[in-house]
Chains A and B, each alone.
Chain A
Amino acid sequence: MILRHDQTVLVQGITGKQASFWTEKMLACGTRIVAGSSPGKGGNTVSGIPVYDSAVAAAATHSIDCTVLFTPPMATKLAVFDALEAGIRNLVVLAEHVPVHDVMEFVAAAKAARANLVGPNTAGVVTPGECAVGIMPGFAENIFQPGSIGVISRSGSLGTLICLDIVRAGFGESAFLGIGGDPVLGTSTADALRIFDGDERTKAVVIVGELGGTMEEEAAEYAAQTKMSSRKPIVAFIAGRNAPPGRRMGHAGAIVIGSRGSGESKVQALRDAGTTVLDSPSDIGSVLRNVLS
C-alpha cells in the first residue's frame, strides 16, 4: 500500500508508551490520524486524538482508511480481527515475535476480506512529504525526500541507511514500504514490486532483501515475466550473503534452511531478471545515477 496525505489513520494500542510517542511523530509527518483504540481506555485522548475501546467502536464514529497496530505480539491476532471487522482495508502490523500460526491465520483472513496487510515485524511505511505510518523517521529530511524511487525493505535499520544514501545522492523516494522481517508476511517483496510497477510516480525500485525464504526469487520471477526492468529499473541489495547456515540472523525470517534461502540464490535470480545487485549499500547513489540516466 502507498498511503496518501488525505487518507485517515487509526492507531491501535495508542495508549502504550511507544504508540503515544510515535503518534506525535506521525502527526508531525502530516499523517491524518483521526482515532486511536485501546481495550478499556475508550473516552480518553492521546495528543488530542480520541481513544475508543476497539477498532469497531472507532469506525462507528470515524471513516478509517488505514490502521497501524502497536500491539503486543500475543494480542496482535485479535487486534487484526477487530480491524477487519471494522471494515478497515489497509493494515500495518508492527509487532515482532507474533507466533507464525497467528500470522498465517490473520493474513488469510485479511486476504478473504480483500484488505491489504503489511507486516508483521515491520518498521512501517512512509510517503515522503505526505505521511508516515509506523516507527520510521518520516520527519527526517536527510532520510526521506519526495521523489521517484520506490523502496522495498525487510529491515528498518538497513532500509534507513539505504534511504539516507538515496537522499544523499540527490534522489528522493516515491514511498518506503517496510514489508517486515518475519518468515510469513502479508505483503511480499513481489507484492510490493507490483505496487510500485503500477505507481506512476515511481521511476525506479530499490529492493532491500535478506537471506531466508524465497521472496526475492519470487520478485525476480515477477520482474522477469513482466519485463519490468524495461519499464522501471530495479536495483537490489541482499543482506546476509555470508551468514552461517542454520543460524537465525536477528530476524525470524532470516535463516538458511537446508538449501533454501541462501543470499547467493537471491542474487543470482535477481541478476537473471535484469536487476542490478549491489555488493555494498554505499554504491546505491552511483548505481541509481547510472540506471536513470
Chain B
Amino acid sequence: MNVPEYIAKSLIRDAGIVTPDGEVARDSRAAAEQARRLGGRVAIKAQIPAGKRGKSGGIAFADSPAETEEKAAALLGSEVAGHPVDAVLVEAAADIERELYVAILNDGSTRGPLLLFSREGGIEIEEQGETILRKELDIRTGLDPATAREIAGDDALAGVMQKMYERFIALDCELLEINPLARERSGRYVALDCKMTIDDSSRPRQKELFARVESASGPLGTALEQRAREAGLYFIELDGEVGVLANGAGLTMTTLDAVHLHGGKPANFLEIGGEAYTKATVALEIVLANPRVRSVLVNFCGAFARTDVMAEGVVQAHETLRPSIPFFFSIHGTGEERAIAMVRERLGIEPFDVMDDAVKAAIAAAREPAGVRA
C-alpha cells in the first residue's frame, strides 16, 4: 500500500524527523489560506502516487497567497503523470543548502533491510548510478548509532537515519524513502518529500494505518477491481478482449503471456488460487462483467486446487449466466478426468489438450465480428 505524501510526512514527524510546515488542501482557496498562514515562499505539491513528480509538472512554487491560489487551481483537477490530482500539499519552501537521498527497503537479494544513501538528492534512484552507498542491515540488530554515524558523517544526519529505521520497522514498511532530504543553511535536516510503501501482508497488525490511508485515498482500482476485492479475489483489469480465468499466480501470468505470445490481448488478470479456488462462480461473473471481453479462456492446472471443484464452479456460473461469448478450456492435473467430462457434457465444449491451442482458439474467436457468431 502506498501512503500519500502528507500522511507519510506526519508519520515520520511522529518520530521526530523535521518536515516543512504545511497542510493538504483540496481546493485553491484553502491552498491560498495555507500560503497566508505560512507567509513567504511556498511549494505546492500534487498528491499523486507516482515518482518523478517534479519533472511531470506536479510541483509549483509561489511567493504570495494570490499566486498560490492560481497555481493550486491549475494543478487541482488536472492530471499529473496519468494520475488525477484531487489534493495539493502547500508547504513553506525550505532554505536549502544541499539535497540528499536516504532510503530503507526490503531487499530480496540480501534478504534483509538495505539502507541507500547518496549526497546527490532530488533525483530518482535509477539515475544515481555508482554514487550511491548501499548498506546491508541485519533486521535482528537493526541500525546501531555507530554504523549510522559512519554512513552519515555527522550526528544530525545519523539521527535522521536512525529515526527512519525506527519508522521502517514500526510501520512494516517495504520502502521508506526521503528524497530529497534537504540540509538547511542552519545545519538542520528537513524531509522535503517522503515515499512510504507498507507491506500488504502486515495489515493484521497495522490495522489503524491501513484504515487511515484507505479512508483518505478512497477505494483503489476500477469498479470491477473493487467488486473482486470484496469477493476475496485478486483481479486486475487490462485493456484486451480475451477474458482469462486461471488458478494460481504463476499459471495466470503464464496464461496472459500465452495470449500475448499468440498475438492477442488479455482483458484481465484473475486468479483463483489457494483457498480461493472454490470461488469460480463469482470469479466468472466478474470476468464477464467487463464489457470489452469477446471470448473467455479458462486455464486450470490442479495441484492443491482440484480442477473438478474449479470446473464445477465455472460450469454452474455458465449455466446461470448463459454468456453469449465463446469459452475455451485447458484443464490439467488433479481431478482433470471429472472436470473435462463435466465441461464436455454440461456445456457441450471440448477442452483442449494443449494450453497453447486453447489460447489460439480464444484469440481467433475474440477477433471475429460479433454478428458472425451464432
Question: CB within 8 Å of B: which residues of A?
Answer: 73-74, 96-101, 104-105, 107-109, 123, 135-137, 140, 143, 153-161, 164, 181, 183-186, 188, 208, 210-211, 213-215, 218, 237, 239-244, 247-254, 258-259, 279-282
CA–CA, A248 and B271, complex, Å: 12
CA–CA, A116 and B200, complex, Å: 26
* B108 with A253: CB separation less than 8 A: yes
CB-CB under 8 A from A161, the residues of chain B are 251, 254, 301, 332-333, 355
* A164 with B236: CB separation less than 8 A: no
Q: Mark B81-120, 1 if CB is under 8 A from A, else 0.
A: 0000000000000000000000000111101110000000
CB-CB under 8 A from A247, the residues of chain B are 236, 269
* B238 with A153: CB separation less than 8 A: no
Nearest residue, chain B, Cβ from A261 = B108
* A160 with B333: CB separation less than 8 A: yes
* A249 with B253: CB separation less than 8 A: yes
* B248 with A155: CB separation less than 8 A: yes
* A252 with B201: CB separation less than 8 A: yes
B105 to chain A, nearest CB (A): 9
With A99-B172, A123-B303 already in contact, the answer to whether A137 and B201 are too (CB < 8 A) is: no
CA–CA, A19 and B172, complex, Å: 29
User: Does B284 sit at the interface, judged by CB under 8 A?
Assistant: no
CB-CB under 8 A from B301, the residues of chain A are 157-158, 160-161, 164
* B333 with A282: CB separation less than 8 A: no
* A137 with B139: CB separation less than 8 A: no
Given contacts A188-B108, A250-B269, 16 further A-B contacts (CB under 8 A): A100-B106, A101-B106, A101-B139, A104-B111, A136-B303, A155-B248, A159-B303, A160-B303, A184-B108, A213-B108, A239-B254, A242-B260, A243-B269, A244-B238, A250-B248, A254-B249
CB-CB under 8 A from B355, the residues of chain A are 161, 280-282
* A250 with B234: CB separation less than 8 A: yes
Q: Mark B240-283, 1 if CB is under 8 A from A, else 0.
A: 00000011111111101110110000000101011000000000
* A109 with B261: CB separation less than 8 A: no
Which of B204, B253, B271, B333 gathers most chain A CB within 10 Å? B253
* A250 with B271: CB separation less than 8 A: yes
Question: CB within 8 Å of A: which residues of B?
Answer: 51, 106-109, 111-113, 124-126, 138-140, 169, 172, 174, 199-202, 204-205, 234, 236, 238, 246-254, 256-258, 260-261, 269, 271, 273-274, 301-305, 332-334, 354-356
* B273 with A185: CB separation less than 8 A: no
CB-CB under 8 A from A215, the residues of chain B are 108-109
A122 to chain B, nearest CB (A): 11
- Give which listed residue, A154, A156, A164, A210, contacts B304 with CB less than 8 A: A156
CA–CA, A108 and B256, complex, Å: 36
* B199 with A99: CB separation less than 8 A: yes
CB-based closest 6 A-B pairs: A155-B250, A157-B248, A250-B249, A158-B250, A157-B251, A240-B253
Which of A108, A215, A218 gathers most chain B CB within 10 Å? A108
Nearest residue, chain B, Cβ from A112 = B140
Classify the secondary structure of B's interface with A.
Answer: mixed
CB-CB under 8 A from B274, the residues of chain A are 96
CB-CB under 8 A from A184, the residues of chain B are 106-108, 111
B252 to chain A, nearest CB (A): 6
* A239 with B257: CB separation less than 8 A: yes
* A97 with B201: CB separation less than 8 A: yes
CB-CB under 8 A from B111, the residues of chain A are 104, 107-108, 184-186
CA–CA, A94 and B371, complex, Å: 49
A110 to chain B, nearest CB (A): 10
With A140-B333, A155-B250, A241-B257 already in contact, the answer to whether A258 and B201 are too (CB < 8 A) is: no
23 contacts between A and B (CB under 8 A): A97-B200, A99-B199, A101-B106, A105-B139, A107-B111, A108-B140, A123-B303, A137-B303, A137-B304, A140-B333, A143-B333, A153-B250, A157-B249, A164-B332, A185-B108, A215-B109, A241-B260, A242-B257, A242-B260, A249-B236, A249-B252, A250-B253, A281-B254
Nearest residue, chain A, Cβ from B206 = A99
CA–CA, A259 and B127, complex, Å: 11
CB-CB under 8 A from A244, the residues of chain B are 236, 238
CA–CA, A183 and B107, complex, Å: 8
With A96-B274, A249-B252, A250-B248 already in contact, the answer to whether A157 and B257 are too (CB < 8 A) is: no
CB-CB under 8 A from B205, the residues of chain A are 74, 99
* A137 with B108: CB separation less than 8 A: no
